[in-house]
Amino acid sequence: MQRNSTHISFTHTTQFTQVARLVTSKITELLSTQVFVVNCNNIIVASSKCERIGKVFHFQEQQETNYLRVPLHLKSEVGEVAIGEPFNGETISPRLAKVLVELIINQATVLNHRPNQQALKNQFVNHLLHGQIIDETEILRQAKLLGLDLSPPRAVILIDAAQYVLKSSAGESDGKNLEKATVRQRRRTQYAIGSIVNFFHLPDDTICADLGNGELVVLKASNTKNLGSWAERGNHTDSLNALWTNLAALKRAGDALLMRLRSDTGAAISIGIGRYHPGILGLARSYQDARMALSLGHRFNGCDRVYCLDRLGIAAFIGVADEQTKIELATHLLSPLDCELELLTTVEAFFARDCSPSATAKQLLIHRNTLNYRLDKIASLIGLDPRRFDDAVQIRLALLLRKLQY
């Protein structure tokens, strides 16, 4: 029965293919000879003759060429490397050629098993953000080995690119094509990371890592110098809580990054912005902020947006479990009124009188127009209008929570 060399199923993994290609390239370069690497079914996985890849290699039909055959083992997979005679007619000792090929196979196998720099960086950042490394000396040691500079103050930008990275292509949902889907996801992840790094322009101030499942994270240098064009000139934030300093610039950077990623990927992307927390260990808290903002934002408002705790409205006071975070959020929202005691008294009286303008004006012994002027000023300072229901609820909750601080 005639054999069909074009309809044989592939049973090798991506790792086997990578090793096969590396071995083929190196042997062809050093020995200047034809090379064929086959799997356990004699399917050609890699070759110096590209047109032969994917076909069956019939050793019994190649008697006119004296092939040197060397076993190739990679974990549970087996195959062979077949080497023909040199193109230039040189005579090579079979024993010497066999030893050289075995050395090349061993080197390729070791290189394939060694985690690359990006994989090590991803693992380190993942452990750091999840609080699995708490010794700052050890953190700095590992960061130095990976070429990461953690000296600038940094905040976390968490990016949900799952709709782009994990989107299945036609015919890739079954087990046979799982490997192809994995390669495609890895390629899309690298493309998204490249888009992020290019957007920020300065790779030294942007540490970007893959957290898996379509999630990417940026450890963004968050001081005014590194926020560049997103920082407001002449906007003094010394009086504000340090945790919220430069957050407005980070949110503007997040908005611009979302537009870039939408354009580059053609998919819906969501971004969570974390506050800056002091110290290297503060990165884990910044990540928790970003994670919570993204989770609550998705639940209440859907995807394809930029979320931050102070953009979530009532949802932040309801959904955030940590009481200290809610107190800090309340303090931040009301901070523009810290030096406006008259306005604070006015809004508290407004709520005490069930938001009735007439009753509030009567209690404060002021004209209704004066009350409206004060309420307008409150709205302009904190971005929340006490006369609107949702805004009033936020202000009321913030006032109550802030009292827990004292």
Dist. CA 372–CA 297, nearest whole Å: 33
Dist. CA 216–CA 234, nearest whole Å: 33
Residue 171: its pLDDT value, please?
53
Q: Where are the alpha helices (DSSP H) in 130-277?
A: 136-145, 162-165, 178-200, 224-227, 247-265
Please state, as a whole number, how many other Cβ atoms lie within 10 Å of the Cβ of residue 350.
Answer: 26
Digitized pLDDT (tens) for each residue of the chain, 406 residues in all:
334 444 344 456 777 888 888 888 888 888 888 889 998 888 888 888 888 888 888 766 655 567 888 888 887 788 899 888 777 677 778 888 888 888 888 877 776 655 667 888 999 999 999 999 889 999 999 998 888 999 888 999 999 999 999 987 555 554 456 777 888 888 899 899 889 988 887 556 679 999 999 999 999 988 777 776 776 655 444 434 556 768 888 999 999 999 999 999 999 999 999 999 999 999 999 999 999 999 999 999 988 999 999 989 999 998 988 888 999 899 999 999 999 999 999 999 999 999 999 999 999 999 999 999 999 999 999 999 999 999 999 999 999 998 887 6
DSSP state of 56: B
**Would you state the structure tokens that stand for residue 75, as one six-digit string?**
């974990």
Backbone angles phi, psi at 211, to 5 degrees: -95, -5
CA dihedral over 32, 33, 37, 43, signed as positive or negative: positive
Residue 305: its pLDDT value, please?
94
Which residues fall within 8 angstroms of residue 340, CB to CB, at 6 or more apart? 377, 381
Backbone angles phi, psi at 221, to 5 degrees: -55, 125
Helix pair 117-129, 282-301: axis angle to 10 deg: 80
Dist. CA 45–CA 57, nearest whole Å: 10
Dist. CA 131–CA 183, nearest whole Å: 30
Query: How much is the CA Rg of the chain, to the nearest whole Å?
Result: 31
Collapsed DSSP state (helix, strand, coil) of residue 221: strand
DSSP state of 202: -
